Amino acid sequence: MAKLRLFASAREAAGTTHDDFPGATVGEVLDAAITSYGPTFEGLLATCKVWCNGDPAQRDQPVVDTDEIAVLPPVSGGFNVCR
């Protein structure tokens, strides 16, 4: 099973920082996560970047048990000046 790592709002939606899911492709792993975590996670996933082993990933990319898939939601922020 591939390891799924979740960050920021994806972590909050899933209620965990990581999990293991079966699947032969990145898409199958993400679909298993959607089934487990529900519609809030599914909606958030549409705005996220997905990486496999540190590289951008596509849904049809094959995975093996030792692969790590990271879900990275967009992050906002800015420069805050304290006075």
Strand-by-strand arrangement of the 2-6 sheet: 18-21, 2-6, 68-72, 49-52, 55-56
What domains can you pick out in the chain, each with its CATH number? 2-72 (3.10.20.30)
pTM of the model as a whole:
0.88
Residues 9-40: tens digit of each pLDDT:
999 999 999 999 999 999 999 999 999 999 99
Residues 48-63: tens digit of each pLDDT:
999 999 999 999 999 9
Residue 79 has pLDDT above 70, yes or no: no
